[in-house]
Amino acid sequence: MADSSNGSSSFWTQGNALLRKNLTFQKRKVKTNIRLISVPFFLCLLLVLLQTVINHELDKPENRCGCICVDAQCHQKNCGIQYSDLDQVSSCPIPNPPEWPPVLQIPAPEYRAVYTDVIPISDLPSESCRRTGSCPVTMLLTGNNKSLGEIFAGNMLKNVFTRDDSDILDNLASNVIMSLKMIQGSESKTEISNFLDPAFFSDLPIYNLQSQCTSNSTFSVDVKETNIIFRQEVRCAQGLRLWRNSSYEVNNELFKGYRKGNIEREINEIVAAYDLQNSNGNNFNISIWYNSTYKNDTGDQPVGLVRVPRSLNLASNAYLQFLQGPGTKMIFEFVKEMPKPETQLRLDVSSLIGTLFFAWVILQLFPVVLASLVYEKQQNLRIMMKMHGLGDGPYWLISYAYFLTISAIYMLCFVVFGSVIGLKFFTLNDYSIQFVFFFIYINLQISLAFLVAAMFSNVKTATVIAYLVVFASGLLGGFLFQFFLEDTSFPRGWLIVLELYPGFALYRGLYEFAQSSFTGNYLGTDGMRWGDLTDSTNGMREVLIIMCFEWLLVLLFAYYVDQVLSSGSGKNPLFFLKKIQKKRPSTFRKSSFQRQDSKVFVQMEKPDVIQEREKVEQLLLEPNINHAIICDNLKKVYPGRDGNPEKFAVRGLSLALPRGECFGMLGPNGAGKTSFISMMIGLTKPTSGAAFVEGLDIRTHMDGIYTSMGVCPQHDLLWETLTGREHLLFYGRLKNLKGSALKQAVEESLKSVNLFYGGVADKHAGKYSGGMKRRLSVAISLIGNPKVVYMDEPSTGLDPASRNNLWNVVKRAKRDRAIILTTHSMEEAEVLCDRLGIFVDGSLQCIGNPKELKARYGGSYVFTMTTSSDHESDVENLAKHLSPNANRIYHISGTQKFELPKHDIRISDVFQAVESAKSRFTVFAWGLADTTLEDVFIKVASGAQAFNVLS
Ligand SMILES: *[C@@H]1O[C@H](CO)[C@@H](O)[C@H](O)[C@H]1NC(C)=O
Ligand SMILES: *[C@@H]1O[C@H](CO)[C@@H](O)[C@H](O)[C@H]1NC(C)=O
Ligand SMILES: *[C@@H]1O[C@H](CO)[C@@H](O)[C@H](O)[C@H]1NC(C)=O
Ligand SMILES: *[C@@H]1O[C@H](CO)[C@@H](O)[C@H](O)[C@H]1NC(C)=O
Ligand SMILES: *[C@@H]1O[C@H](CO)[C@@H](O)[C@H](O)[C@H]1NC(C)=O
């Protein structure tokens, strides 16, 4: 062992040790990692394949702008709208878009404002006009100067309509020269693009707005645009201009026009309202109200244009005529779309079905992190590390950073790969948004894994449940959550509630990315940009905020749960309220004291045990630095469950161990040895009593004790994929060994437990035999010069040679430290231990060095003789003859064992007696043995148990 004195290791040393171990561990999992990373790889590949197939389908001529061949061999083709059918036309180029007369948006006759008792506005027409469809369309005016307003209103509409064939609509297609005499209006809604204005291509009539309608003002015209001809009806709509005293009144009236439900009596729509404000001869200041929702907005498509320009032109013209007289005109000839190049039908599969796939890909990390965390818990490795000095801080920091790195690399591969093969989902959306989103999400996911890991102790269960959750989250997201998302009537508030579930938050984020890239791809624009986050329909912002908060909360909560639940520290759930914590044990202690003291009196302690107790009391009064371990009346009571009485596992144990001593704990199974060790290594808390290790109290300073403690647990706690050397390097680093000292210590340690030669040290611990694992565990417990070492049955399963070897190690190791060792091998106890205690039913029955014990409890020879069963009584007589106090302790089919007090007999007498017996009857075998420790053990154990049964 290295003799260099090493203090307790720092935060960073511990972190370094854990990090190096994790990296080695990770290196071993290459196959698993490749499998993990290949999942997104294959999924992306699948998407690309699908995309190729779909692109191929879309690229067929029937999906492109129509063409016809000019010559027989089809060397030359003419393409364009005129050769296309309705399916193809949308992809044709439109180099010269048609010009359309500007149209005013007019409410349908059944919605136009009328006087009703619900909306009693006296200057509106009576309701009866709705039946004949002849209601006038209303415009409202207001401003500071009513007389100006009236002149203005008069200029807006012509009084009489005269049908003038030179400028009616059928000229539209060829020569667009629109007369200002007609103000067209339509109740049709605008479309996404106005290449074909729906006003002229729908079943709805075109309205001709006049101040007064006459009988001949309804007629039909043919509208022709390229190869589409539509017969359109032109009707008259009378315009009603009403003055209101203030914009307040206008607002009020407009609001009443809002369609609540479909009760017709409550609908009162107007065309537009004009506020002239402070306009006068020198100043034209107008604001126009119009209905901005009057457009075909089906939700999943971009909105159409709103018909505002005509309204503005109307007002400008009216003002101009007020200034310059009736002859003046400001001609508004046409509105026209921008030219459009030939487009291809494009469908981005990754955006369309990617959301669910990508959600699975990302969620997949969750079981991986969880399994890794639960593995350390299941194998008790976390506690093992803790017992060798790994603090919670470094553990959390390094584990978290470790999983974060793995997740980040995974996500990076995913995004880079997706981008390289050209998935629009990745390439169109801003990478910085993707980075922020994915980064926050993986953090949240890791925190969740830490939290959930506290609930599982079995890797298989945890993994299976986690995969189920992943699968279900994806499906629920895809088929339930998305349904709610797209249902505009679903309350937004509930969506946010749903998004509190991280799986749905992830789904929402991916969904937004997909939507942006889909429309971006469709319209040939960009995907999501930071600016889009301010858009109220974009859920990305709320998702980011939710995930950020959740991440912090979950992380804090996970840490808290870990502190409360992890058996290493097992803090009170209210550990941060120190005061409460202090009160509780003291009250508890009192009651358990009273209950047990009666027992102690009944069960009279042996003088050696009493002496040890006195020594402890003495030591507590006058502390002595020589003693590494002092246990003062340590008790452990397990509360009764299911109607069973309380179980006293340890009933007041007092023990003082100086440095350099190896104390052997013997006892039958279930005697309480393991409970005792568990308390000493901090796995459980004592019910009452105290113990001090190197002067530190195990109830309050366990973390300090861990840095000078070594444990060889009963079951080997090893990482299957790490080698013996790596185990020792890790624990050595935890114990603050560095550089060459570490290397030397590890090598010596490997040599001492016979794991150095033949490449054993560099084999995976999972491939070790039981004995090799045992030896490695012992080596781990001794590395780094711990001051106290607990060994729970260190030599079980070892062959005699290895066991001898191990004994030598322990003998050498005990020189400057205290060792507590439990064993079932009396031979081992005799060889290794300076003192022994026999522990039965929760208390020490005797304590002392092996020789003393043998002398005290032995003091007799065991005489064995085997004869035929006929001569059993002869043998008994023989024994009685040798010593009248002979006591038969064993008897079965001719073999009998007797205890002969040492002071009664001489060995030569026994030989003589046997010789003479042999002459009388046949003796198959005989023997005489000194008492062994085993006899002492059996005697003490059975004596104590018999006593307990009686009491
Ligand atoms: C209102 O407008 C009319 C017409 O321009 C003008 O003659 C009159 O002076 C204005 N009244 C006020 C109070 O400005
Ligand atoms: C508007 O003002 C005029 C004159 O100031 C008044 O006679 C009329 O009642 C007012 N109209 C309303 C609806 O308040
Ligand atoms: C136009 O009217 C608004 C509202 O009355 C007023 O705030 C603004 O100053 C006016 N502008 C001019 C140039 O008079
Ligand atoms: C505006 O138009 C929409 C139809 O697109 C209609 O539902 C709504 O009631 C109208 N609002 C007003 C105030 O007329
Ligand atoms: C809105 O546009 C879609 C096609 O884009 C059309 O099918 C639908 O009939 C239109 N709805 C109205 C109310 O104009």
Highest mean pLDDT among 453-467, 600-614, 679-693: 453-467
| Euclidean distance between CA atoms 70 and 76, whole angstroms | 6
For residue 304, what pLDDT is reported? 56
Instruction: Measure the CA–CA gap between 883 and 900, rounded to whole angstroms.
Output: 7
Pocket test for ligand 3, best of 145, 274, 278, 289 (most atoms within 8 A of CB): 278
From CA 154, how far away is CA 326, in angstroms rounded? 10
Q: Does the pLDDT of residue 67 top 90, yes or no? A: no
pLDDT higher than threshold 80 for residue 871: yes
Closest C-alpha among 703, 720, 727 to residue 780? 727
Strand order in the sheet with 788-792: 709-712, 788-792, 818-822, 662-666, 835-840, 843-848
Give me ligand 2 centre to Cα 246, in Å. 10
Nearest-atom number in ligand 5 for the CA of 189 is 14
* CB-ligand 3 contact for 159 (6 Å cutoff): no
Q: Indicate if ligand 3 lies below 6 Å from the C-beta of 26.
A: no
- CB within 8 Å of 177: residues ≥ 6 apart: 167, 171, 333
Give the ligand whose atoms come closest to the C-alpha of residue 196: 5
Nearest to 733 by CA among 389, 437, 466, 414: 389
* 54 alpha carbon – ligand 5 mean position (Å): 27
Q: Whose Cα sits closest to atom 12 in ligand 3?
A: 285
Gap from CA of 294 to ligand 5 centroid (Å): 12
Ligand 5: residue of 297, 298, 306 to mutate (most ligand atoms within 8 A of CB) is: 298
Amino acid identity, residue 891?
H
Of 703, 717, 57, whose CA–CA distance to 376 is shortest?
Answer: 717
Q: What is the pLDDT of residues 335-383, one digit of tens each?
A: 888 888 887 777 777 777 778 888 988 998 899 999 988 988 888 888 8
Q: Is 259 in the pocket of ligand 4 (CB under 6 A)?
A: yes
Which pLDDT tens digit goes with each residue over 747-789? Answer: 888 888 878 887 888 888 888 888 888 888 888 888 888 888 9
Judged against a pLDDT cut of 60, whether residue 180 lies above it is answered with no
Q: What spacing in Å lies between the alpha carbon of 142 and ligand 5's midpoint?
A: 35
Mean pLDDT of 574-595: 42
Q: Which residue's alpha carbon is nearest to atom 7 within ligand 4?
A: 259
Measured from the Cα of 322, ligand 1's closest atom is 5
How many whole angstroms separate alpha carbon 804 and alpha carbon 569? 36
Ligand 5 pocket at CB < 6 A: 189, 191, 296, 298
Question: Is the CB of 805 within 6 Å of ligand 3?
Answer: no
- Sequence-ordered list of residues with C-beta below 8 angstroms from that of 431, at least 6 positions apart, any chain: 415
Distance CA 502, CA 507 (A): 8
- C-beta of 648 in contact with ligand 4 (< 6 A): no
Confidence label for 303 from pLDDT (cuts 50, 70 and 90): low
Q: How far is the CA of 268 from the centre of ligand 4 (A)?
A: 9
**For ligand 4, atom 10: residue with the closest CA:** 258
Report the pLDDT value the prediction gives residue 520, as an integer from 0 to 100.
83
Ligand 3 lined by 280 (C-beta under 6 Å): no
Q: Where are the alpha helices (DSSP H) in 524-646?
A: 540-565, 578-602, 607-621
Q: What is the pLDDT of residues 238-258, one digit of tens each?
A: 889 999 999 999 998 888 777
Angle CA 714–719–720, to nearest 5: 105
Question: Domain ranges in the chain?
Answer: 11-47+346-565, 93-324, 859-930
Ligand 4 pocket, residue 664 CB under 6 Å:
no
CB 144 less than 6 A from any atom of ligand 3: no
Amino acid 159: pLDDT: 57
Question: What's the pLDDT tens digit per position in 487-534?
Answer: 878 888 888 899 999 999 999 999 999 888 888 887 777 888 888 888
Q: If you measure from the C-alpha of residue 282 to the centroid of ligand 3, how many angstroms do you get, rounded to a whole number?
A: 13
Q: Determine the CATH number of domain 859-930.
A: 3.30.70.920
User: Max alpha carbon distance in the chain (Å)?
Assistant: 160
Smallest CA separation from ligand 5 atom 3, residue: 296
| Residue located nearest, by CA, to atom 4 of ligand 3 | 277
pLDDT tops 90 at residue 867: no
* Residue that wins the pLDDT comparison between 59 and 109: 109
The pLDDT tens digits for 203-241 are 888 888 888 887 666 777 777 766 677 777 888 888 899
Q: Tell me the CA distances in angstroms from 680 to 533, 562, 699, 709, 791, one per residue in order.
A: 57, 21, 9, 10, 12
Task: Give the per-residue pLDDT at 594.
Answer: 40
Quick one: average pLDDT of 166-174? 44
**Nearest atom within ligand 4 for CA of residue 259:** 9
SS3 of 317-338: the string is HHHHHHHHCCCCCCCCCCEECC
What residue's CA is closest to ligand 4, atom 13? 258
* Cα–Cα distance for residue pair 110/121, rounded to 1 Å: 17
Answer left, alpha or beta for residue 645, where phi above 0 means left and psi between -120 and 50 means alpha.
beta
Model confidence, pTM: 0.61
Q: What is the pLDDT of residue 625?
A: 74
The residue whose CA is least distant from atom 11 of ligand 1 is 145
Q: 311 CA distance to ligand 2 centroid (A)?
A: 26
Q: Is any ligand 4 atom within 6 A of the Cβ of residue 254?
A: yes
Closest residue to atom 5 of ligand 4, CA basis: 294
pLDDT at 600: 43
Residue 550 pLDDT > 90: yes
Q: Is 252's C-beta closer than 6 angstroms to any atom of ligand 4?
A: no
Model pLDDT, residue 174: 37
292 Cα: distance to centroid of ligand 3 (angstroms) = 23
CA-CA-CA-CA torsion sign (200, 205, 211, 216): positive
The predicted pLDDT at position 770 comes to 81
Give, using CA atoms, the residue closest to atom 10 of ligand 3.
285
Q: Tell me what the pLDDT averaged over the chain comes to.
A: 81
> Dihedral of CA 531/537/540/545: which sign?
positive
Q: What is the pLDDT of residues 11-21, one digit of tens each?
A: 888 888 888 88
Please give the residue that has the higher pLDDT: either 854 or 833.
833
Measure 279 CA to ligand 3 centroid, in angstroms. 9
Residue 192 Cα: closest atom of ligand 5: 5
List the residue whose alpha carbon is closest to atom 11 of ligand 3: 285
Reply yes or no on whether the pLDDT at 87 is more than 70: yes
Tens digit of pLDDT for each residue in 656-677? Answer: 888 888 888 888 887 888 888 8
Residue nearest to atom 12 of ligand 4 (CA): 258
Mean pLDDT of 304-316: 83
Residue 275 has pLDDT above 90, yes or no: yes
Residue of the CA atom closest to atom 9 of ligand 5: 296
pLDDT tens, position by position, 348-357: 777 777 788 8
Mean pLDDT of 813-823: 85
Which residue's alpha carbon is at the smallest distance from atom 11 of ligand 5? 296
Of 163-177, 514-528, 870-884, which gets the smallest average pLDDT? 163-177
Comparing 699 with 592, the larger pLDDT belongs to: 699
* Ligand 4 near 269 CB (within 6 A): yes
CB-based burial, 766-802: b 16+ in 10 Å, e otherwise: eebeebbbbbbbbbbbbbbbbbbbbbbbbbeebeeeb
Which residues have C-beta atoms less than 6 Å from ligand 1? Answer: 145, 147-148, 280-281
What are the strands, taking DSSP E only, across 334-385?
A: 335-336
Ligand that lies nearest to the alpha carbon of residue 297, given by its number in the listed order = 5
**Residue 865's beta-bridge partner residues?**
896, 926
Rounded to the nearest 5°, which phi and psi values hold at 824?
-110, 0
Ligand 1 atom with the shortest distance to the CA of 148:
2
CA of 316 to the centre of ligand 2 (A): 27
pLDDT score of 863 more than 70? yes
pLDDT given for residue 90 in this prediction: 76
